[in-house]
Structure 1
Amino acid sequence: MTQAKQVLALARAKGVLIATAESCTGGLISAALTEVAGSSDVFDRGFVTYSNQAKQEMLGVQAQTLTDFGAVSEEVAREMASGARLRAGVGLAVSVTGIAGPGGSEFKPEGRVCFGLALEGRDVQTETVEFGAIGRAQVRQATVAHALVLLERALHQA
């Protein structure tokens, strides 16, 4: 069973609706989930918020958070996940914001992705993964795979 199928089966068993908030993946997590037939009973929506303005307008990310920490930060990932969960009215949301490449800087290198996970009734969890300069497509695919793992772990706690 694929990771997406496992996530959807667990969400179905737990009665949890899911939303995504994606920046660097541009909707690939949503695509992975909706690739599975019947996903509409547990996948509610995906927010693709590539620009800072979209993050603010669609998810309620604070301008000050973006100014203080930058778009690629656990602080922004936290606000993205929380905003997606609350605005969609779902039990679980995952967020991703990162630098898929090419490029980056010494402070925010290519391959850095920050994740947020908002599960109803729990504090929002965040983490940063350094995938390295493995190429844009590979960073995006690794991000999708990791987001699905995070969703599965959260659903085991739901």
Structure 2
Amino acid sequence: MKLFPSIRPYSRGWLRRDLLAALTVWAVLVPEALAYATIAGVSPIVGLYAAPGALLIYAALGSSRKLVTGGDAATAALSAAIVGGIVAGDSSAFVQTTAALAICVGLIAVMAGVARLGFVVNFISIPVLRGFIIGLALTIIAGQIPHLFGVESSNGNFFDRIWVFVTHL
């Protein structure tokens, strides 16, 4: 694997456009990082700390100069559901466990990429993907609806969150 595969000899003429691109990525990435950190159940500032790391790692290992990397709703919601079921109630353990989960998933993703395991996704059937998307949507809704109604929220699993929401209406 070639380190920094997208770096070529750099021309000073590209600097102005690259700075504009960097500003555009920053303008998109900051609110996105804040939102996804909230969905993941951690403080929004944690999203701001994590966002540059993803960009730097992709810059070193990625294959396209035109891609922007960062968090996404699926990863954030799954992280919140997994970690919430393990350490519900302890905010410092929640952040630490979320960070450990992110590092483990990242290492597994790198190993899968090195082993060229991308073809495995072709074996996932459409009904399984639909179930995943619907479950993900319900998990995100269960995590965000208490904020919409201004009631107490919970860091537990889906059913715990719905129960806390309904009992605090």
TM-score normalised according to structure 2 size:
0.30
Greater relative contact order, per chain length (Cα 8 Å cut-off, separation 6+)? 1
The structure with the largest alpha-carbon Rg is: 2
Which structure has the highest helix share of the two? 2
User: What TM-score does the superposition give when structure 1 sets the normalisation length?
Assistant: 0.31
